[in-house]
Amino acid sequence: MFRAVLDLFADGRIHLPPLSLRDIHDARQVFREMSQGRHIGKLVLDVGDGLGGGTVLVTGGTGGVGSLLARHLVAEHGVRNLLLASRSGPAADGVTDLVADLQDAGAAVQVAALDIADRSAVADLLTRLPGRYPLTAVVHAAGALADGTVESLTAQSVDDVLRAKAGGAINLDELTREHHLSAFIAFSALAGTLGNAGQANYAAANAFLDGLAARRKASGLPGTSLAWGWWEHSSGMTGELDAADLARLRRTGITAMPTPEALALFDTARADGKPALVPAHLDLAVLRGKDAEEVPPLLRDLVESGRPRRTRTGTGTGQESGPAHLPARLAGLPAAEARATVLEWVREQVAVVFGHTSGASVDVDEAFTRLGSDSLIAVELCNRLNASTGLRLPSTIVFSYPTPRELSDHISDLLRPPADTGTAGATEEDAAIREVLRTVSIDSLRSAGVLDLVLACAEAPGAGCAASAADESAGADELSDLDLEALVDLALDDKR
């Protein structure tokens, strides 16, 4: 029977239960978990540095945040064996000084050049570790960016970002199963938790890390994913951000964390032991100044539970708070005044996203491209416009209406003041319906069997939509060549 059991181990059909190394300082908690049967496998108390006393692998360890962490592990956690890995390895900027400092502090340091998503390179790296100092902890801080709006993402830009984070994590997860790790910590990012303009690929990669940590934890393995906010220390990822990018980040309500604060949060997270945590510095005043729809859903309770929300001051003409407040402000204004109000309001929004001090400094006839627009600015501007108008403008709106004045005219046309089209409610609803209709393809109207009806409405709106399509067949043939937007315009022109 013993031989049969050994054969099962040899075939990989059964495995030893996992061995979980825990810091001696957590002994009270560990015994509590054991007494309640909440653990899987063996629990071993570590009397060393809290990271198993062996080698700690830091992927991305030659980068901005990774190198700060390497110094912290040596200085504060007493780690004595470090393996820093990145593609550039010993050729990375500042590595010579980093290694010298770590060695002066008493650590033995190896720096390896490899792509962490390359499975055989990772396997090879792990077999080359010194027997006396087996791998006892992993910090996976490797990461890369390839930002762009969703429409502009390519297979390559998705792959580049997933590769380092998710590809690397899969390799480390699978290839370290035979090592008795005390910690497996992935550096994730807030973009995966809250979302962030232009970072769909990065968000997916980080969300993967969060899920992997939870899965590891559930199967009795160490696993922690830290969805970091923004580190103040400039790094490879944040060093390229210009003033407008930094201002945009602050407007999201996320403020930069000084290094000591971030490292202290790392220690707190280590002690907490939960699989997914968000170490980030939020600016609640900024969040409370936003309309509810602009605050990420996960943060809304946090914002609402504080002091009452501030009323936003925009152009100083009152009634500026709450969703879709612009149509309400336009209600009752004469047409010319309504257009001027929309123009002033658009200038204010443009000033905010382009980092101008006020709307007055925005030239309304200057092309957005000359103002410095990029796809992320376009998305942010579009989100602001939509939140306050109730419209669903596409993120490409600044390309279709390339100056603040043209954009404002377009919005004015969509949000007709009550004097033009009836009640304020009807204006908002009409505008919203009209935006939705623009997205409907002729094919979908045809397959839904309503194309003839729509054509009949466009051809003879005064006669009512129930007019027989057969009666209109000649006109319908001609009209079917037009897209829906042209049809709606035609119908409205007939109405005037």
Ligand X SMILES: NC(=O)c1ccc[n+]([C@@H]2O[C@H](COP(=O)([O-])OP(=O)(O)OC[C@H]3O[C@@H](n4cnc5c(N)ncnc54)[C@H](OP(=O)(O)O)[C@@H]3O)[C@@H](O)[C@H]2O)c1
Enumerate binding residues for ligand X (CB under 6 A): 59-60, 62-66, 86-88, 92, 115-117, 141-144, 163-164, 168, 187, 189, 228, 230-231, 235-238
Between 60 and 404, CB nearer to ligand X: 60
**Residue corresponding to tokens 């006393």:** 53
Between 247 and 492, CB nearer to ligand X: 247
CB of 362 closer than 8 Å to CB of 373: no
Q: Considering the complex, what minimum distance in angstroms separates the CB of residue 218 from ligand X?
A: 23
Between 112 and 181, CB nearer to ligand X: 112
Q: Considering the complex, what minimum distance in angstroms separates the CB of residue 263 from ligand X?
A: 13
Helix axes 155-162, 200-218, angle to 10 degrees: 40
Between 189 and 387, CB nearer to ligand X: 189
Q: Considering the complex, what minimum distance in angstroms separates the CB of residue 451 from ligand X?
A: 49
Q: Considering the complex, what minimum distance in angstroms separates the CB of residue 178 from ligand X?
A: 22
Question: Strand 224-228 and strand 108-113: pairing?
Answer: unpaired
Between 154 and 219, CB nearer to ligand X: 154
Q: Considering the complex, what minimum distance in angstroms separates the CB of residue 193 from ligand X?
A: 11
Between 205 and 414, CB nearer to ligand X: 205
Between 114 and 411, CB nearer to ligand X: 114
Between 62 and 149, CB nearer to ligand X: 62
> Chain-centre distance of CA 162, in angstroms?
14
Q: Considering the complex, what minimum distance in angstroms separates the CB of residue 284 from ligand X?
A: 20
Measured between alpha carbons, how far is residue 322 from residues 394, 421, 428 in Å? 21, 23, 15
Q: Considering the complex, what minimum distance in angstroms separates the CB of residue 9 from ligand X?
A: 33
Between 62 and 136, CB nearer to ligand X: 62
Q: Considering the complex, what minimum distance in angstroms separates the CB of residue 457 from ligand X?
A: 52
Write out the chain in H/E/C secondary structure: CHHHHHHHHHHCCCCCCCEEEEEHHHHHHHHHHHHCCCCCCEEEEECCCCCCCCEEEEECCCCHHHHHHHHHHHHHHCCCEEEEEECCHHHCCCHHHHHHHHHHCCCEEEEEECCCCCHHHHHHHHHCCCCCCCEEEEEECCCCCCCECHHHCCHHHHHHHHHHHHHHHHHHHHHCCCCCCCEEEEEEEHHHHHCCCCEHHHHHHHHHHHHHHHHHHHCCCCCEEEEECEECCCCCCCCCCCHHHHHHHHHCCEEEECHHHHHHHHHHHHHHCCCEECCCEECHHHHHCCCHHHCCHHHHHHHHCCCCCCCCCCCCCCCCCCCCHHHHHHCCCCHHHHHHHHHHHHHHHHHHHHCCCCHHHCCCCCCHHHHCCCHHHHHHHHHHHHHHHCCCCCCCHHHHCCCHHHHHHHHHHHCCCHHHHCCHHHHHHHHHHHHHHHCCCHHHHHHCCCHHHHHHHHHCHHHCCCCCCHHHHHHHHHHCCCCHHHHHHHHHHHHC
Q: Considering the complex, what minimum distance in angstroms separates the CB of residue 88 from ligand X?
A: 3
Q: Considering the complex, what minimum distance in angstroms separates the CB of residue 245 from ligand X?
A: 12
Cα separation, 317 vs 419, whole angstroms: 19
Cα separation, 25 vs 75, whole angstroms: 18
Q: Considering the complex, what minimum distance in angstroms separates the CB of residue 383 from ligand X?
A: 22
Q: Considering the complex, what minimum distance in angstroms separates the CB of residue 56 from ligand X?
A: 16
Between 40 and 121, CB nearer to ligand X: 121
Between 55 and 67, CB nearer to ligand X: 67
CB of 194 closer than 8 Å to CB of 296: yes
**Residue corresponding to tokens 């501007």:** 381
Between 92 and 350, CB nearer to ligand X: 92
What type of residue sits at position 220?
G
Between 76 and 115, CB nearer to ligand X: 115
Cα separation, 496 vs 490, whole angstroms: 10
Q: Considering the complex, what minimum distance in angstroms separates the CB of residue 18 from ligand X?
A: 26
